[in-house]
Amino acid sequence: MKCFVDTTTSTHPFKFNPSADATNLVSWGLADERSYFVNLTSTIGKDGYSRLDLSEADSITAADSKTYQYKYSLGFAKLGENVRTVKGHMELKLAVDNGFWSIYEWSDFKDSDTTWSRLRLEFQ
């Protein structure tokens, strides 16, 4: 959560743009992000498996912001279960917030059957 913008002090609001197959997440906020992460990690458990692979596709740097585009593959499983994987590509927009770079916008795009947005829906 520390990677995301602090909306109490920043001029940038947090925005999540879901993939086209999860449009009911359009009002997704930081509290939703925290809840999703807690639910996912609780389900996987401390002995579970998770792996995030990112490959940078592109980056754009401006004077006060940075935009990174990545292809992603996120695999996860409870101990003893088959690994589930979501894939797609995302765009992260960052700005300086309280002296540190932080993510203020995250866009998710569908490349395969299931995306990170769909995972958020499942564990919200």
| pLDDT score for 61 | 86
Q: Where are the domains of the chain?
A: 15-123
CATH says 15-123 is which class? Answer: alpha beta
| CA pair distance 76, 44, nearest whole angstrom | 7
| CA pair distance 12, 8, nearest whole angstrom | 10
Asked if 17 and 5 count as a contact pair (C-beta separation under 8 A), the reply is no
pLDDT tens, residue by residue, 99-108 = 889 999 999 9
pLDDT tens, residue by residue, 30-71 = 999 999 999 999 999 989 999 999 998 788 888 789 999 999
pLDDT classification of 116: cutoffs 50, 70, 90 = very high
Q: Which three-class secondary structure state does DSSP give residue 5?
A: coil
Q: Concatenated DSSP letters for 43-70? A: HH-TT-EEEEEEEEEEEEE-SSEEEEEE
| pLDDT score for 97 | 83
| pLDDT score for 23 | 87
Q: Concatenated DSSP letters for 72-84? A: EEEEEE-TTSPPE
pTM, 2 dp = 0.89
